[in-house]
Chains A and B, each alone.
Chain A
Amino acid sequence: MDKLKLLARRLLQALPSLAAIVIITFLLTRLLPGDPAAYFAGDAADAESIAQVRAELGLDRPLVVQFFVYLGDLLRGDLGTSLNTGRPVLAEIANRLPASLELTGVALLLALGVAVPLGVLAALYQDRWVDHLCRVVVTAGVSLPTFFTGLLLIYIFYYILGWAPSPLGRLDFLYIPPATVTGFYTVDALLAGDLEIAWAAFTQLLLPAITLGLFVLAPIARMTRAAMLAALSSDYIRTARAYGLHRATVLITYAFRNALLPVLTTLGMVFSFMLGANVLVEQVFAWPGIGSFAVEALVASDYAAVQGFVLVMAILFVVLNLMIDLVYTLIDPRIRVEG
């Protein structure tokens, strides 16, 4: 029962962020230079359709009224209609979201899988080659533009080495996408028992996931190293050693678990970077996710679609931060008990 109360409290704490997001996205759709109706009607619209849009969206009513209409629309899932496709924005985004989630998820796993051990080893073997490698990775990592890394990887691994498949999306056009269960091609193909398609989807996923992962490798490795160093020099480690505990126990159960906490907090910032870098990576690899959807919308001045994208990304960000918060609360007894 206590845990439920804690969860509820954390959810409530996320409300101000959600409120801020709704208000700001609303302002972005209304405080436009010139006539908002013209934006929503599109470049090719004539005076008549603009007037129609203005009436439809209630853009001639007072701002406060507009806000509540907007809120109402949001709660009903109405994010407007895409100019490009004519379909509801929410449907378009929902359609493209799994691709982005699959990409980001795999990228995060790759990044964690490399950065955390690297940080731990760099802390354990300070000033040895691992530590220097870590330092180089961190310094280089924060300087590399994601889109540039992606292009370099394509050039090396596709053009020169021929190891990677053609960077043209989730699946080579030879293959038919598997039946949708989760929307993640790799998972769905495995569920359907089709190993060939699963592998094809996976190899298409690799290069963009590595690019995105490389981008966030640096902050995670840096924080892991710092957190591990701090943990290792703590008094309780000295105590553990004083009582002859095995090295593995000291390093893993005592040091690493404590070091995880600040690393977890860093993930919040990491997600902020990742959701932004997602757009760039999808652009480079022609990945049909919401990032490239947003870029297409920008190019076509599909205004409702762009703002829908910003809103969804922001809500996703809040949800991710909430999840980090919840995991942290479950791990750190100091917060769990005192709330």
Chain B
Amino acid sequence: MTTIAAPSLTQHGLYILRENPVTAVAFGLFALLVFFAVAGPWIAPYDPLLSNAARILEPPSLDHWFGTDQLGRDVLSRVIVATRLDLGIAVTAVLLSCGVGAVLGCLAGFYGGWWDVLIGRLTDAIMAFPLFVLAMGIVAAAGNTVENIVYATAIINLPFYARVARAEANVRRDSGFVEAARVSGNSEFSLIARHLFPNLLPPLVVQLSLNMGWAILNAAGLSFIGLGVRPPTPEWGIMVAEGATYIVSGEWWLALFPGTALMLAVFCFNLLGDGLRDLIDPSRRT
């Protein structure tokens, strides 16, 4: 009598990639983005901040694949270097959001009572606002810096993680192994750490990847309206904003390339999120 071994995570992962060429493409794109984020400054053909009055507003050519902007700067270099900032802001914000949200959610779900009420009120309060508008308000109040963009984005994403964590903690609160651990004399904190958190990771990771695309859009939106990042720092949002004034007169390359990069990054993370969700918990597909 033979038993069929359950496929390991890697085997399952490779299966998903093979079955879903789209997810594989997303992974490739993700790798590319990470590469640009890490190695950007070194592989960019020109200095992204170097202006050149002689060669302003040049359309794409062999010299400048993405053309030059209104100060003669190479658009390609700026787009590549901007990857670090855009991804950096989004990743930091989302990780912060996830970390704090997960802790709050766990407290609410595990202990219930006042914790639940308080944290529930907090998430409800955040969700009572249109989220982008709230982010604007927070940045305006806290000061127009990149750090505050990160904090604002983290705050508006908090409810999503808190909810996921609370739901999971609620389910596991009364399940057998927690009782058993409690009886065997483990401290409450080690209970949470050792039993709750590993079970929380899969749905949190799924939420994280699904959320990342939106976080990038949010951060770019805030910088498009002039919050956070200031010129001459290369960042996709403000590059599109700067390019906006030129698109009506036909100089499309200033806005198109950073905008497309933005779109591809968001697209990539959305696909990854879908792929991860299929890998970890296919029952949640819509």
Contacts and interface: CB of A to CB of B under 8 A. Distances in A.
Q: Do chains A and B touch in the complex (CB under 8 A)?
A: yes
Interface stretch (B44-52, B138-146, B191-199): B138-146
A275 B133 contact: yes
A314 B263 contact: no
Q: Which of B133, B225, B248, B263 has the most CB atoms of chain A within a 10 A radius of its CB? A: B133
B226 A298 contact: yes
Contact of B130 (A148, A223, A314): A314
Interface string A68-89: 0000000000000000000000
B141 A32 contact: yes
B240 A295 contact: no
B134 interface: yes
Interface of B: 121, 124-125, 128-134, 136-138, 140-143, 213, 217, 220-221, 224-227, 240-241, 243-244, 247-250, 252, 255-256, 259-260, 262-263, 266-267, 270-271, 286
Given A20-B121, A309-B133, A317-B130, 7 more contacts: A21-B128, A28-B137, A31-B141, A145-B240, A147-B241, A166-B248, A284-B244
Nearest to B210: A142
Interface of A: 16-18, 20-21, 23-25, 28-29, 31-33, 139-140, 142-148, 151-152, 154-155, 158-159, 166-167, 222-223, 226, 271-277, 279-280, 283-284, 294-295, 298-299, 303, 306-307, 309-310, 313-314, 317-318
Nearest to B220: A145
A305 B196 CA distance: 45
Nearest to B252: A155
Contacts of B143: 33
A143 B266 contact: yes
13 contacts: A20-B124, A142-B213, A143-B267, A223-B286, A276-B132, A276-B133, A279-B133, A283-B224, A306-B137, A307-B140, A310-B137, A317-B130, A318-B128
B228 to A, nearest CB: 11
A272 B129 CA distance: 7
A148 B259 contact: yes
Given A147-B240, A155-B252, A298 B131 contact: no
A145 B133 contact: no
Nearest to B236: A145
B125 A23 contact: yes
A68 B133 CA distance: 24
Nearest to A283: B225
Contacts of A167: 248
Nearest to A312: B133
A158 B248 CA distance: 8
A145 B241 CA distance: 12
A33 B149 CA distance: 15
